[in-house]
Every structure is written in structure tokens, then in C-alpha cells.
Amino acid sequence: MAHEVVVVGSVNADLVVRVDRRPGPGETVLGSDLATLPGGKGANQAVAAGRLGGRVGIVARTGDDGHGALLRDALGAAGVDVSRLLVAEGPSGVALITVGPDGDNSIIVSPGANARLTEQDVAAAREVIEGAAVVSLQLEIPLPTVVRAARTAADAGARVVLNLSPAAPVPPELLALCDPLVVNEHEAAFLLPDHAASDDPAALAAALLELGPTSVVITLGADGALVATRDGARSVPSPKVEPVDTTGAGDAFTAALCLRLARGDGLEAAARFAVRVGAAAVLGEGAQSSYPAEGDDLPS
């Protein structure tokens, strides 16, 4: 049976420390015990969609280290098809994460094996990608690989969703394949040098549409999201919750969005479900460990 969502992206081990405050330059602070958790934007999205009951596959690379086994096991436990999860010599990707007392996080990513996911790997996985309803992409893997995956998906009639994270320059041809382009306010401003993250989200969305995507979703944290097409923009409010840890919440949102789009929802309806999943994800510690399962009660 074909996949509803195929993720072409990163898998990382998240090394997480909680701190009372973040250190300044040259300063040392004490933190909590180190937690090693499965993560990576690609793996997070695959796991989140899998836990929601989706038929999900992933095209990615781990290293041949101990982290690689952890990451494969976590994906498999969520029901994700790992037949295209390849192993490269050397270290797996790692994310160094500090979580402050307010639940907000700061992240440094060492790409590791993610940097060795190639266009040839995408070509080898063409049958899996072409069979998906939605292909989800991010920017923690090489840009040529992302572009090749987007072309392969679009040529087969699959819907391409690009989460522009971490923010980086992308070619117009890639933006033109996005339906939607998913960004937060800072990522939107990165693509729009004449705008600031504090600008009106509707204005940001209109300017982003001028760059070529069919549709745009701007995530607004606790304020929910804004969805936009050339027919107009609509705000989608988020349930109000007290966040514990925001790590991976954006990935949970994108995964839920992709899954509902794959099942035929319109963009606004998919986003209304996605904000509830994103709100649920901030109620627990870590990324994948906080994601809701199919049938769980979601904040409303």
C-alpha cells in the first residue's frame, strides 16, 4: 500500500540539557543531566505522522554509530517504513539543545550523516517518493538533494511541502513546487530582506506568495498559524496551553498538516488540526517523546 506521507530529510540524536539560564560568551552554567533522545526534523515529522496513524516512509541516512541504532528503532516503533533509511560511515547527525525555564530552546546541529544524503539516494528511492500523496522536505540535508526530491515528487503528482528550516537561500524552482511553503516568522523574514519578522503575518504571506509557492503557511507559535493562497489569508488560532518544552513542536505541526493534506483536507482544515497537534507537543519534554498518538485527546 502506498504511503500517505514520505519524508525526505534528517535524522539526529538530540542531546538535551535543561538550564535555569543560558550562558553568555565565555560563561559556564550548570544544567540538568544530559538526555539523549531521537530527533532531527525529518525523523520528527515522520514519527509524528506515524503516531497519528499515517502510512509513512522516510528517505534518510544515519551514521554507523550507536546513535544510528537509536534513531532507527524510534522510527520503527512509530510504524515508519525504514526500508530507505540508509547507513553512512561516520557519525549520525546530532543536535545540541538547551531548554530554558520558559520551555523555549536553542539548538546547534552537527549534520553528520545527513550531509551525505545524495541526489543518487533520492533516485534510488524514486518508487517510494512517487507513490506518496505528500512529500515533506526540510533543509537539514543538502539543498541539491531537497531539489531532486521535490522534482521527483511533483513530476509524479505528489504534493510537495517544504519547511524552510533551518532558514537558507533556496532556488525559485524549488519555491514554485511548494504547496505549501511552511515557515515561521523569522524564516519568512529571511526570504524577504525588505521585511522584518515583526511585520504583519498577512503581509509576509502575500510577499512570500510572490516568490512562487502555490500556498504558504506561517506558524506563529502560541498564536497558531496563518494560511494563505492567492485567494486570500486566514488566521488559525492555537489552543492555549502552558508549554513545558517547545522542542520539535513545529515538526509535529508540519507532520499533522501533511497527513491531513494527504487525506484530502483543504489547507485551512489541515492547519486547524495541526495547531492542536503542535499544542499537544509542547506539553511534554523532548520532541518525539511528546508527540500525541492516534486517538489521544488534543487541546482545543
Catalytic residues: 251
CA distance 226 to 38: 29
54 known member of a binding site:
no
Residue 184 assigned to a binding site: yes
Is 278 part of any known ligand binding site?
no
- Rounded Cα distance between 180 and 85, Å, is 25
Q: Is 43 annotated as a binding residue?
A: yes
Taking the CA atoms of residue 130, residue 135, residue 137 and residue 143 in that order, the dihedral angle to the nearest 10 degrees is 20
For strand 178-184 and strand 216-219, is the pairing parallel, antiparallel, or unpaired?
parallel
User: Does the annotation flag 57 for ligand binding?
Assistant: no
The annotation status of 199 as a binding-site residue, yes or no, is no
Ligand-binding site membership of 13 (annotated): yes
Nearest Cα residue to 95 out of 145, 29, 161, 165:
165
The annotation status of 40 as a binding-site residue, yes or no, is yes
For residues 277 and 275, what is the distance between their CA atoms, to the nearest angstrom? 5
b/e per residue, 29-65, with b = 16+ CB within 10 A? Answer: eeeeeeeebbbbbbbbbbbbbbbbebbbbbbbbbbeb
221 labelled binding-site residue = yes
Q: Tell whether residue 9 is among the known ligand binding residues.
A: no
Closest of 172, 129, 89 to residue 8, by C-alpha: 129
Q: Which candidate, 229, 265, 151, 222, places its Cα nearest to that of 162?
A: 151
114 is in an annotated binding site: no
CB 6 within 8 A of CB 85: no
> Binding site: which residues?
12-14, 40-44, 140, 184, 219-224, 245, 247, 250-251, 281, 284, 286, 290
User: Per the annotation, where are the binding residues for ATP?
Assistant: 184, 219-224, 250-251
User: Residues within the annotated binding site for substrate?
Assistant: 12-14, 40-44, 140, 251
Which residues does the annotation place in the binding site for K(+)? 245, 247, 281, 284, 286, 290
